[in-house]
Amino acid sequence: MIPFNYLGWFFKTFGSIIYPKVVREELCKFLKNVPRQAKILDLGAGTGMMSEFSHTCRDDLYFMAVDPAKDMLKYALPYIKTQVASAEDIPFEERSFDVVLMGESLHHFNNIDQALKEIVRVLKKEGKIFIYDFDVSTFLGKSICRGEKLLGEPGHFFVPEILKNKLEDYGFTAVISKHSWRYTIVAKLS
Ligand SMILES: C[S@@+](CC[C@H](N)C(=O)[O-])C[C@H]1O[C@@H](n2cnc3c(N)ncnc32)[C@H](O)[C@@H]1O
């Protein structure tokens, strides 16, 4: 397993490098249509990187960062609320959030189906998700997947089209954007 509890400083210092500018721009474009003071759940938030990026373009939003690694969350900036928990058991009531963000975190979840059930439960009607992850059909994506599995991680990396189909099974309509070996998916509960 990757010892995330000891890696907060690393992600805080270098974490943003893995987010290309185009993905940050996409995130801001996605957030443009989110209602004022909407509630954002940053799932597998680590140090709260996705919330930080979001805050640069929408500082009116409420950010809740959830992660099982307490010592990653302690690096979150003061405007980000934090909660130690896993994606498979999100400790909030149903229909609590307008948006769920998952930045390089989905592939770490132990049980993707249980996490998706929880995401659907805590999202409001017509709630949205933004996923950023690595495409396992590319050489780099495959290499990262192998490396993480060797470290004992679940390595639930997807070919984006397969994840899109899965999201549709959970009631989302989804749109993929590919960025070489990385991709984003924007999806809305219908
Ligand atoms: C590569 S880090 C990404 C953190 C952050 N989203 C970022 O982009 O910097 C992956 C995060 O997923 C978290 N994680 C691992 N298993 C998880 C689970 N079952 N539910 C939620 N988060 C999990 C880890 O603790 C870690 O903080």
Fold of 4-189: Rossmann fold (3.40.50)
Specify the ligand 1 atom closest to the Cα of 102: 6
Residues in the chain, total = 190
Give the model's pLDDT for residue 18.
Answer: 87
Give the model's pLDDT for residue 175.
Answer: 98
Ligand 1 mean position to 46 CA, how many Å?
A: 5
Count of C-beta atoms within a 10 Å radius of residue 26: 17
> What are the helix and strand counts (H, E) for the chain?
7, 7
pLDDT averages per 10-residue partition of the chain, 190 residues: 94 90 96 97 98 97 98 98 98 98 98 98 97 97 96 96 98 97 96
Residue nearest to atom 10 of ligand 1 (CA): 105
Residue nearest to atom 14 of ligand 1 (CA): 44
Q: What tokens appear for 11 in the block?
A: 């992600």
Tell which residue, 156, 104, 144, 95, has the closest CA to residue 124: 95
Q: Which protein residues touch ligand 1 with a CB less than 6 Å away?
A: 4, 11, 15, 43-47, 49-50, 67-69, 72, 86-88, 103-105, 108-110
Domain boundaries, the chain: 4-189
